[in-house]
Chains A and B, each alone.
Chain A
Amino acid sequence: MMNLDYSVLLRALPYLGEGLLFSLQITLVAMAGGIVFGTLLALARLSRYKKLATVAAGYVNLMRSIPLILAIFWIFFLIPEIVAWLIGADHPVQIGTTRTAFIAFTLFEAAYFCEVIRAGILAVPRGQEGAGQALGFTYAQNMRYVVLPQAFRAMIPVLLTQTIILFQDTSLLYVISATDFLGAASKVAQRDGRLVEFYTFAALVYFAICFTLSKVVKRYQARLNKNVAHA
């Protein structure tokens, strides 16, 4: 049997912790940004202005049709060119792996959240919008006070589940050498020649976090169903 040495983990813990923190940061930023941008996309898709709806649908379909890893690459290499073009520089303006990570995940998640939120909005009975209008709410007020709160309430379990997937997906950042949790584990594992220990540990940490979160989601879902049954 292999000769396993788990003490190497202890020494690497601070570094792994930094990686985990970075993964969590990206997850939270992409979730918040994705929900905001995704909500705007959803409203655009449901808009009666056909052009706006088409542009939003195009964006969402594009993002949902390409692998995330490709989107990360694409933003890593493309944005420097775009920025350079915008400010008229003759060299690509590097934005760094951290910013790339935040931008890529936010843009990508927004497309997924958009579809979840759109379904949530469509699930709110049409009469609710009419009632808000009849009280004198503007479109924005109606969305803010009447439609979106109800849409989100129903959609929170799905949004959280999507966020758990997002957390796992942060591991894809290794392609641009960003040091997320798995990236950190991988780097130390190769330096110390302790692949089994580090990958096992990483798997356990991912499992613990995701499993706990999904239990929380399940519980919330159950509570929600109970409330709906009562209403």
Chain B
Amino acid sequence: MIKIDNVSKHYGPFQVLKNCSTEVKKGEVVVVCGPSGSGKSTLIKCVNALEPFQQGSITVSGVSVGDKKTNLPKLRAQVGMVFQHFELFPHMSLTENLAIAQIKVLGRRREEAMDKGMKLLERVGLKAHAHKYPGQLSGGQQQRVAIARALAMDPICMLFDEPTSALDPEMINEVLDVMVELAQEGMTMMCVTHEMGFAKKVANRVIFMDQGEIIEDREKHAFFETPASDRAQQFLSKILTH
């Protein structure tokens, strides 16, 4: 589904990604973790071309992301993305947030889009708030809406860029629950997150990055039980002991 092959990226002389290669197969859940500044968010943003990269190739469902001839809006419409800071549109109600891209990008009829949006809001437990604006919701609620907004496009896979790291601790679980449910339904997911509980529960593989490199890319039990590299061991001991 997502194939990342030997990708490198520079900001001027600074190399943010170094020869990264990995793959997310259909139905797989892959968690990407690593210390801050390790390039994990950059990597996931390269997948739907929100960030350009200079070398290597990324294909999503066989379509090359870096190819200049690729219709990027069309590709992105198929790839759901959830951001650290939710990025709901503050000037639209929740229903409009969920409907606008369905109407303008997928060409769905308004009633159809509204209907779909309402069903998804119900699914994330926020149907009663449908008429509200994002600013009236808590962070956890906003993030659930953001997930619903991405799902409204019927994506072939979902990218999560630190979906819980801007949330107050008591709101993290309501978002993770939605993600777990999604994973169990068989959604292909690539998640940048430090929530190791989530990784243990639903991930197939865990990727560990440091300084722009993929240090480990392993099946989750192997990763948690016997991390091969010192850096991964240190990282795990730091985040699992608190």
Report which A residues bind B (CB closer than 8 A).
125, 127-128, 130-138, 141, 145-146, 149-150, 153, 230-231
B47-62 at interface with A (beta carbon < 8 Å): 48, 50
B100 part of interface (Cβ distance < 8 Å):
yes
Report which of B50, B77, B87, B135 forms a contact with A136, defined as CB distance below 8 A. B77
Report which of B79, B91, B135 forms a contact with A134, defined as CB distance below 8 A. B79
State how many angstroms separate the Cβ of A41 from the closest Cβ of chain B. Answer: 23
Q: Which residues of B contact A136 (CB under 8 A)?
A: 73-74, 76-78, 101, 105-106, 153
Pair A137/B87 contact, Cβ less than 8 Å = no
6 A–B contacts, CB within 8 A, in A order:
A131-B81, A131-B83, A134-B48, A134-B76, A141-B104, A150-B89
Q: Which residues of A contact B133 (CB under 8 A)?
A: 231
Give CA–CA (A134, B81) in the complex, Å.
6
Report which B residues bind A (CB closer than 8 A).
45, 48, 50, 72-74, 76-81, 83, 85, 87-91, 100-101, 104-106, 133, 135, 149-150, 153
State how many angstroms separate the Cβ of A122 from the closest Cβ of chain B. Answer: 16
State how many angstroms separate the Cβ of A149 from the closest Cβ of chain B. Answer: 5
Give CA–CA (A130, B47) in the complex, Å.
13
Give CA–CA (A179, B105) in the complex, Å.
50
Pair A231/B135 contact, Cβ less than 8 Å = yes
Q: Which residues of B contact A131 (CB under 8 A)?
A: 81, 83, 87-89
Pair B105/A137 contact, Cβ less than 8 Å = yes
State how many angstroms separate the Cβ of B4 from the closest Cβ of chain A. Answer: 18
Report which of A135, A137, A146 forms a contact with B149, defined as CB distance below 8 A. A135
State how many angstroms separate the Cβ of A59 from the closest Cβ of chain B. Answer: 30
Q: A134-B50, A135-B76, A145-B100 are in contact. Are A231 and B90 (CB under 8 A)?
A: yes
State how many angstroms separate the Cβ of B200 from the closest Cβ of chain A. Answer: 28
Give CA–CA (A145, B83) in the complex, Å.
19
Q: Which residues of B contact A153 (CB under 8 A)?
A: 91
State how many angstroms separate the Cβ of B153 from the closest Cβ of chain A. Answer: 7
Task: Name the CB-closest residue of B to A230.
Answer: B135
Pair B50/A130 contact, Cβ less than 8 Å = yes
Give CA–CA (A178, B45) in the complex, Å.
57
Known: A135-B77, A137-B104, A149-B91. 13 other contacts (CB 8 A): A125-B87, A127-B87, A133-B72, A134-B50, A134-B76, A134-B150, A136-B105, A136-B106, A137-B105, A145-B104, A150-B90, A153-B91, A231-B133
